[in-house]
Structure 1
Amino acid sequence: MSLRRTEAVLARFGFDRYMLLLVLTVVLATVLPARGAAAVILSHVTYWVISLLFFLYGAKLTTATILAGLANWRLQLSVLALTFVLFPILALALKPLSLIWLPTAIGAGILYIGCMPSTVQSSIAFTAVSGGNVAGAVCAASLSNLIGVVLSPLLFALLIPQGSGYGIEPSAIWKIVQQILLPFALGQLCRPLLAGWLARHRTATTIVDRGSILLIVYAAFSAGVVAGIWQVMSAPSLAILLGLCALLLAAVMGAAMLMARVAGLDHADLMAVLYCGSTKSLATGLPMAGILFAGQNISLIILPLMLFHLLQLGVCAVISQRVAARLEPRAAA
């Protein structure tokens, strides 16, 4: 079987090149982790790469699309309610269950999933494949991330028990604003100058986008391997964690479908709510975790988000392909 055909088969189940690269990055960090001076240099490089990533996010986001999407208030409120109300409640309910079998840091990581904003690129892509409201999805995902820069750490600080060892320093909020929100705002201001260049060099911006996430994953898991993460997380523990992530994803997806139907949304809006309301952003979650949990067991805390992200990509890919297949006969008629 050729490489392209193999990739096409894997893509049907959500295993694209990016997912494989994420897995390989974890393997690389396990076999060859950054140590000593290399780890220090890597932390400095990662800081500026994150700032560049959010600068590009700001430069790529069109204000007109956001304003058009805000007009569909039922869609926007549905996504925000799922992302910042239902998700944290479900994660809070699931956390005590995780503590029966898994380390305390994993329980904090599950709660961290619940507080994260929605994905941007993948939720928009899945919405488009499923014949959904792309403009509404762009607005919902972007708005979720803008709000999440401030709301996500505050939610986590509110929900994490006192004395758990995973609290958030007030100064961390300002660090997030400096490293994430300010570069994003600067990108928006520079958009008139950069919009044309970014449109002509989509491949370069994609490499920066995906490459920065891989770099953050490598840095986090390098630190975890040095600290002995795989001595704590055995194969059965990983299987249990994956099961808990699947349970969380299934519950939110079911709630998203029900909420959209109760709100009387049509197919296009329902798809946007499903994908934007049930997914969580690795691109925002990893940089934020590096700031919030500096000096703590960050690799264990982000492990649930990593697994949830891979799982959501696979499940959403399968759903979008099936929805698209059902829509094809209608489009032909």
Structure 2
Amino acid sequence: MKFKFDWFLKGMLVAVALAFIWPSPGAKGGFLHPELLNKIGIALVFFLNGLGLSLASLKDGALRWKVHLLIQASTFLIFPGLGWLLLMASTGWMSADLQLGFFYLCALPSTVSSSVALTVAARGNVPVAVFNATLSSLIGVVLTPFWMAWILGSSGAVFDVWPVIVDLLLWLVLPLVLGQLLRPVLAGWAGRHKSRIQVVDRLTILTLVYTSFADTVKEGVWSSYGPLILLETVVGSVLLFAIVLVLTRLLGRLFGLPIEDRIAAVFCGSKKTLASGVPMAHLIFGANPALGLILMPIMIYHPLQLAVGGVLAQRWAERGAAES
């Protein structure tokens, strides 16, 4: 499985470039009315996620508790721990908004589609990947905002988590539940139009990326930073990804997991979701004019995890084929 620079990744670059060239429509007060548009977009993304989320598939991988513990601990404990260490190490030379972005990256749940796809390609334990990717998405709705409340509170910032929780329930959880409830009626239709639904989902996320950066540009946030901010983001993302890859592989061996489970653990435990991360950031940091900068780490991390994951999946698949 080779990494492809697909239309969605190209679309992210276009959305960011458009925000720098023409930010007014997507900034607060613009004719796109981002205050309303963003929330409708968030609801649509999570409704489609709920429609495509098969909870029945969880039972196939539910009993392998060691690998589940490793993956969820990597996603919601090891990653935030590394994020906190990065914050401590970078204080004084990295901007506070970029630090916040890195910790937000670390607090996010895992991906669903790419974790499962890479596990399939690498001949790993697919039911385990489906179980943990789905479980991670559900846990992240609760844990991600609370991790952010903790880190913001510990830095002395005022962060009232309850309005954020209400927004998450209204614009994220409710559409997700509605999607689930309508699965018996619409699952067949969704299966037949899966590619079109994915296009709508991705276009909605690109719109949210555009409005995120438009506000940041209009508020003049980027004028305070030079090209160094991009280099810091790339280096920090590569460092985090490399450490988590090594830790998940070592811990998988330490737990005595079979190779198929270790493959699923590496892919699920090292991934972070851009698809849920962008809309969730709008609900958590919606009033922050530096939202575009906060999203930088996850936007760099996303193609990085796909590129490296594709190479690893190909190598594991070739080894599995040779052993067979």
User: Are the aligned partners of 1:160 and 1:166 in contact in 2 as well (CA < 8 Å)?
Assistant: yes
User: Are the aligned partners of 1:79 and 1:277 in contact in 2 as well (CA < 8 Å)?
Assistant: yes
Residue 314 of structure 2 corresponds to which residue in structure 1? 321
CA deviation profile, 1:188-211 (whole Å, cap 9, x unmatched): 111100111011111111112211
CA deviation profile, 1:104-149 (whole Å, cap 9, x unmatched): 1111111111111101111111111111122211110111110110
1:16 is aligned with what amino acid? D
What is the TM-score with the length of structure 1 in the denominator? 0.90
- Structure 1 residues 110-259: aligned runs within 5 Å: 110-162=102-154, 164-165=156-157, 167-259=159-251
**Using the alignment, how far apart are the partners of 1:270 and 1:131 within structure 2?**
11
Say if 2:2 is the partner of 1:29.
no
User: Which moved further from structure 2: 188-197 or 60-69?
Assistant: 60-69
Cα deviation for residue 14 of structure 1 reads: 4.7
User: Which moved further from structure 2: 46-55 or 117-126?
Assistant: 46-55
User: Are the aligned partners of 2:28 and 2:35 in contact in 1 as well (CA < 8 Å)?
Assistant: no
Say if 2:52 is the partner of 1:51.
no
CA deviation profile, 1:273-292 (whole Å, cap 9, x unmatched): 11110111112211111111
Residue 8 of structure 1 corresponds to which residue in structure 2? none
Gaps of 5+ in 1: 1-10
Cα deviation for residue 39 of structure 1 reads: 5.4
User: Are the aligned partners of 1:166 and 1:293 in contact in 2 as well (CA < 8 Å)?
Assistant: no
**Using the alignment, how far apart are the partners of 1:276 and 1:239 within structure 2?**
26
Structure 1 residues 274 and 285 mapped into 2: Cα distance closer, same or farther (>3 Å)? same
User: Are the aligned partners of 2:38 and 2:282 in contact in 1 as well (CA < 8 Å)?
Assistant: no
Say if 2:277 is the partner of 1:285.
yes
**Using the alignment, how far apart are the partners of 1:321 and 1:101 within structure 2?**
38
User: Are the aligned partners of 2:273 and 2:302 in contact in 1 as well (CA < 8 Å)?
Assistant: yes
User: Are the aligned partners of 2:28 and 2:215 in contact in 1 as well (CA < 8 Å)?
Assistant: no
User: Are the aligned partners of 1:109 and 1:302 in contact in 2 as well (CA < 8 Å)?
Assistant: yes
User: Which moved further from structure 2: 174-183 or 58-67?
Assistant: 58-67
**Using the alignment, how far apart are the partners of 2:7 and 2:116 within structure 1?**
18
**Which residue of 255, 260, 268 corresponds with 2:260?**
268
What is the TM-score with the length of structure 2 in the denominator? 0.93
Cα deviation for residue 163 of structure 1 reads: 5.1
2:304 is aligned with what amino acid? L
| Number of equivalenced pairs | 321
Structure 1 residues 158 and 165 mapped into 2: Cα distance closer, same or farther (>3 Å)? closer
Say if 2:2 is the partner of 1:12.
yes
**Using the alignment, how far apart are the partners of 1:106 and 1:39 within structure 2?**
29
User: Which moved further from structure 2: 293-302 or 117-126?
Assistant: 293-302
User: Are the aligned partners of 2:248 and 2:266 in contact in 1 as well (CA < 8 Å)?
Assistant: yes
**Which residue of 300, 304, 324 corresponds with 1:311?**
304
**Using the alignment, how far apart are the partners of 1:201 and 1:89 within structure 2?**
40
User: Are the aligned partners of 2:241 and 2:270 in contact in 1 as well (CA < 8 Å)?
Assistant: yes
- What secondary structure does 2:286 align onto? coil
Gaps of 5+ in 2: none
- What secondary structure does 2:308 align onto? helix
Residue 88 of structure 1 corresponds to which residue in structure 2? 80
User: Which moved further from structure 2: 245-254 or 153-162?
Assistant: 153-162
**Using the alignment, how far apart are the partners of 2:267 and 2:174 within structure 1?**
27
**Using the alignment, how far apart are the partners of 1:327 and 1:16 within structure 2?**
27
Cα deviation for residue 40 of structure 1 reads: 5.2
User: Are the aligned partners of 1:117 and 1:148 in contact in 2 as well (CA < 8 Å)?
Assistant: yes
**Using the alignment, how far apart are the partners of 2:75 and 2:160 within structure 1?**
21
Structure 1 residues 72 and 36 mapped into 2: Cα distance closer, same or farther (>3 Å)? closer
- Structure 1 residues 289-304: aligned runs within 5 Å: 289-296=281-288, 297-304=290-297
Q: Cα RMSD between the aligned structures?
A: 1.9
**Using the alignment, how far apart are the partners of 1:172 and 1:306 within structure 2?**
22
User: Are the aligned partners of 1:117 and 1:145 in contact in 2 as well (CA < 8 Å)?
Assistant: yes
Percent sequence identity over matched residues?
36
User: Are the aligned partners of 2:245 and 2:266 in contact in 1 as well (CA < 8 Å)?
Assistant: yes
**Which residue of 52, 55, 59 corresponds with 1:60?**
52
Residue 4 of structure 1 corresponds to which residue in structure 2? none
Cα deviation for residue 168 of structure 1 reads: 4.2
CA deviation profile, 1:159-185 (whole Å, cap 9, x unmatched): 334454363432111110111111111
Structure 1 residues 228 and 317 mapped into 2: Cα distance closer, same or farther (>3 Å)? farther
